[in-house]
Amino acid sequence: MKKLTFALASLLLAVGATASTDNNEELAKRIAPVGQIYVAGEQADVAAEASGPRSGEDVYKGACIACHGTGALDAPKPGADSWKPRIAQGFDVMLKHSIEGFNNMPAMGTCATCSEDEIAAAIRFMIDGV
Ligand code: HEC
């Protein structure tokens, strides 16, 4: 009987030990700083998501404002009526002109690091409410 009791006690201890190891791992996961539970590749994705595309307003303030903010070289100002005939020709034409350049409007509006989506967002910001 003593042997059986010992065996049962060992078994219970073993089960208990396993369970507590699992709990420790769970706990470690829960209290780990977010970055540590990602492998290197996943971390890069997280960083890209965190910065994300710039807003139209940010792009405008960073690049377009130099001309469109002041009307330099007859660049249409945000919200101005002079956007109306440009809007009438279609958004795709305005986007193409912004990407490739158009008269005194430089290609990509001088924003070398902008994506086409960010340029489109900046256009939408400038024509908002026109
Ligand atoms: C160096 C000055 C300058 C900068 C910087 C600039 N633009 Fe322009 N932009 C112009 C001028 C000038 C025009 C008018 C061109 C014309 O109609 O002959 C223009 C016109 C436009 C048009 C109208 C195109 C059309 O089809 O009528 C869009 C859209 C535009 N700009 C977007 C942008 C965006 C977006 C940025 C910033 C990422 C930007 N521009 C930065 C000078 C500038």
- Structural domain boundaries of the chain? 2-51, 56-127
- What pLDDT is attached to residue 48? 47
Residue 8 alpha carbon to ligand 1 centre in Å: 82
pTM for the predicted model, two decimal places = 0.72
Indicate the burial class of 40 (C-beta count within 10 angstroms; 0-12, 13-18, 19 or more): exposed
CA of 71 to the centre of ligand 1 (A): 10
Amino acid present at 84: K
User: For a pocket test of ligand 1, which of 98, 108, 127 has the largest count of ligand atoms closer than 8 A to its C-beta?
Assistant: 98
List pLDDT tens digits, range 101-112. Answer: 999 999 999 999
The pLDDT tens digits for 109-129 are 999 999 999 999 999 999 999
pLDDT top residue among 57 and 25: 57
Residue 121 to residue 55: CA distance in whole angstroms:
7
Fold of 56-127: Cytochrome Bc1 Complex; Chain D, domain 2 (1.10.760)
Determine the Cα angle at 126 with ends 125 and 130, to 5°: 105
pLDDT tens digits for range 21-56? 566 776 566 666 655 545 555 554 444 455 789 999
Q: Which atom of ligand 1 is nearest to the CA of 123?
A: 35
b/e for 72-95, b at 16 or more Cβ within 10 A?
eeebbbbeeeebeebeeeeeeebb
